[in-house]
Structure 1
Amino acid sequence: MFGYVTADDTVHFPTASLVVTQREVHTTFSVEVATSAEQIARGLMFRESMDDRSGMLFVLAKPQKVSMWMKNTPLALDMIFADVDGNVKFIQRDTQPYSEELISYGDDIQYVLELNAGTASKLKISKEARISSLGLVPPR
């Protein structure tokens, strides 16, 4: 899942609106969407800031075990792992910037949502939450 990426690499990401639903509370984020191998390898590497209601959504081709890392990523992040239906299965809070330690989860993950560290706690996002986005994550 990892590729060799430098700060000079130019990778473009489409954007979409994404909704996190937690106990009937809906919070909307503007996310960049990573679907290609190049986009997934780059992710949020080299980013020094991100707006509060922004993030990145990794959309995998099929449900699978997912391993992420923070190499070349100066931002602390919350990583939200979700299944094919957008149901949150695991949340890794407050990741360590620049860490090469793998953050892995499950065998059935199709989406990983990265938000600024602290966002999941602030919004009380838990494993009861669900993510959805028109055309990306199917509505329930």
Structure 2
Amino acid sequence: MIGRMMRAVLFGMLMLAALPAAALESFQKSTLTVETAGGGKFRFDIELALTPAQQAQGLMFRQTMADDAGMLFVYDRVQPASFWMKNTLISLDMLFIGADGRIVNIHDRAVPQSLDSVNSAGPVKAILELNGGMSARLGIRPGDRVVHATFGPK
């Protein structure tokens, strides 16, 4: 009897764990480069969050991300942006990027699962999420340039 109940509980837990995965969005892949004022050029393999559903999901439920990976959230128009970390399990740096590809501001090491708002310092075209601490490690600062088709030709 206990063995049957344990199997039923485990089956129920597995089914609940599988539910979010069934509804998860898939993302187009791309690459971009961050060029720093100090002459550094850093390439990242990124996923593009282009639709409202993709942007709502973002990097939620991910337990790890490669050091050279990230996600670029691209808006249809330039606008103020606000993010939170609900259901996000890894610390992230959020780079808020203007229409010209210049980084407007950076929020370092956003706290996993936090419901606090993380805001752009002005209107932005996109937000690049990288692993927490990556911006400081690479010397990426506001005013540096993100090179990607989203921001037009270099």
Q: TM-score, normalised by structure 1?
A: 0.91
Q: Deviations over 1:68-97 (max 9, x none)?
A: 010000000000001001100100001100
Moved over 3 A (4+): none
Hey, what does 1:66 align to over in structure 2?
A: 81
Greater CA radius of gyration, 1 or 2?
Answer: 2
C-alpha separation between the residues in 1 aligned to 2:153 and 2:123?
18
Structure number with the higher strand fraction is 1
> Given the alignment, which residue of 126, 132, 137 partners 2:147?
132
C-alpha separation between the residues in 2 aligned to 1:118 and 1:13?
24
Q: TM-score, normalised by structure 2?
A: 0.83
Hey, what does 1:93 align to over in structure 2?
A: 108
User: What is the deviation of 1:139?
Assistant: 2.9
C-alpha separation between the residues in 1 aligned to 2:20 and 2:71?
18
- The number of aligned residues is 134
Unaligned runs of 5+ in 2: 1-18
User: What is the deviation of 1:122?
Assistant: 0.4
Structure number with the higher helix fraction is 2
Q: Deviations over 1:22-81 (max 9, x none)?
A: 022211000000010010000000000000000000001100010001000000000000
Q: Which has the higher contact order (CA 8 A, sep 6+)?
A: 1
C-alpha separation between the residues in 2 aligned to 1:52 and 1:84?
25
RMSD: 1.2
C-alpha separation between the residues in 1 aligned to 2:25 and 2:139?
32
% identity of equivalent residues: 34
C-alpha separation between the residues in 2 aligned to 1:107 and 1:122?
25
